[in-house]
Amino acid sequence: MSDGYNNVTSGSNGASDEQRSGRGSHGQSGDANGGAEAVTVLLILEDEANRRGTRAAIEGLPGIEIVGERGELRSGLLLARQLRPRIVLLDIPDGYEEALSAAGNFKMDSPDVALFLMSNTLDPQVLLKAIRAGAQEVLKKPLDRALLQEAVERVSRSSLARSAGETRARSIISVFGPKGGVGASTIATNLAVSMRVQFDLSTVLADFDHASGDAAHLLGLKADRSIADLVRSPRIDSPTVHMNLLHHRSGVSVLAQPEDLNKLEIVSPAQAGGTVDALSASFEVVIIDSPHSFDEVSLELFDRSTSILIVLELSVPGIRAARRALDVFERLHYTDVPDRVKLVVNRYSRNRGLISLDQLFEAIQVRAYHTIENDYQRVFTSVNAGRPLCLDDPDSAAARDISALAGKLVNRDAPVPQANGARRGLFGRMVAR
């Protein structure tokens, strides 16, 4: 490596006047993110072109402040010890052992600093050693700005939680249809979109329903990466999980089933549990599209779930399947926690239903937690087009009910419909129709 001092942006004692005053490349201090303290970043990247491109990518993101740069590992980590940035973005060369060893030692001395490592490859062996060195994120070169922003937002949220002296509760919500065809996948998909768009929560949708595998299609995504790729990896950890996620325009991340059944892989209970653990460490809300049966994998998922939604229709077969599911959950003591297992009635018709909610209660002695209107034509159009209701048709009856369900699950008020015809666009911003 070169000594890196030819490209240093700081002056005496390893920090420029700008950096010593707490101001970075944006020329502002502590107010770059809507009044919140900016996330500070130090770049340690040997290649000048890579450093220049990375700097340009970061400077275009809100709420981020570059406080220094170095082109050499040793001097960069020394500067990091002086400046104490929130994130150190470090290049991993092809001969990565020395860099990872130095990064690991730095992380032990500075546990509050998040290590972001950039690599030419996301080889599983490199990922494993990076995690052992204490890396919070491993990013592939060239840098993907969207993935970088998501990673920085995760660090920012953890910083806010730590400064407030508390950790924000995570929600793991399993959507379970005890019989096929009740719309569980559609509800799971739209719940995920609503959590992200209406309530601004980082959300991932994990499709464990290998028999149907509809999550990617319902969002209009092509599953060029899937859970099959994940389980073939030698280790399931956060970087490996993240490199196999799809990203929807709403901001929802998706762990999909493979489109080609020939690529289907059997997921073991340990792999399922490890995957959910990795996801819940990175996202505020994990929505699980569960298998339709009780087996070791589904029980591993339910064990980790803070809420289990039993989806049913008001029909004799639907109520019977729900009753059997409740019996199993009772024997497994899931119902010992109040409101952990909830009944969600889909395709509900208040005026034309042959079976009422009171009759449902009489049959199984459990009240429905929530109902979703029978909005057949708009749901049918949404499913066929691969365009989720809660994003593209938020004023439909079913979308409003699903958004209300999302609000109840995270203890927030559902968004108020806009009388002027505006709708919520990407990331919850209001846009004109």
Q: Could you read off the pLDDT of 98-121 as tens digits, one per residue?
A: 888 888 878 777 777 888 888 887
Question: Is the overall model pTM greater than 0.75, yes or no?
Answer: no
Name the more confident of 192 and 211: 192
Q: How many residues are given for the chain?
A: 433
pLDDT band at residue 133, thresholds of 50, 70 and 90? confident
Please tell me the distance from the alpha carbon of residue 277 to that of residue 304, in angstroms, as a whole number: 8
Q: Among 3.40.50.300, 3.40.50.720, 2.60.40.420, 1.10.150.120, what is the CATH number of 171-431? A: 3.40.50.300
4-10: average pLDDT:
32
pLDDT digits (tens, 9 = 90+) for 153-178: 877 766 554 444 344 457 899 999 99
- Say how far residue 79 (Cα) sits from the centre of its chain: 32
Question: Residue 231 has what pLDDT?
Answer: 85
List where CATH 3.40.50.300 sits in the chain.
171-431
**Separation in Å, CA 75 to CA 14, 16, 178, 206, 336:** 9, 15, 59, 42, 56
Q: In what order do the strands lie in the sheet with 171-176?
A: 246-247, 253-255, 203-207, 285-289, 171-176, 307-312, 341-348, 370-373
List where CATH 3.40.50.2300 sits in the chain.
5-163
Q: Which fold has domain 5-163?
A: Rossmann fold (3.40.50)
Question: Residue 265 has what pLDDT?
Answer: 74
The pLDDT of residue 27 is above 90: no
Question: Residue 227 has what pLDDT?
Answer: 92
Q: What are phi and psi of 311, to 5 degrees?
A: -95, 130
Residue 336: HSE in the Cβ half-sphere, 13 Å Cα cutoff: 5
Question: Residue 159 has what pLDDT?
Answer: 59
Please tell me the distance from the alpha carbon of residue 206 to that of residue 282, in angstroms, as a whole number: 13
Is the previous residue joined to 258 through a cis bond, with omega within 30 degrees of 0? no
Residue the block writes with tokens 């077969």: 317
pLDDT digits (tens, 9 = 90+) for 247-303: 999 999 999 998 876 777 788 888 888 898 889 888 999 999 999 889 888 988 988
The pLDDT of residue 143 is above 90: no
Structural contact between residues 195 and 187, judged by C-beta atoms closer than 8 angstroms: no
pLDDT digits (tens, 9 = 90+) for 391-429: 988 989 999 999 999 999 998 876 655 444 444 443 334
Structural contact between residues 74 and 106, judged by C-beta atoms closer than 8 angstroms: no
Q: What is the DSSP string of 12-36?
A: GGG--HHHHTT--TTS--S-SBTTB
Q: What is the residue type of 195? A: M
The pLDDT of residue 84 is above 90: no
Question: Residue 433 has what pLDDT?
Answer: 37
Name the more confident of 5 and 330: 330
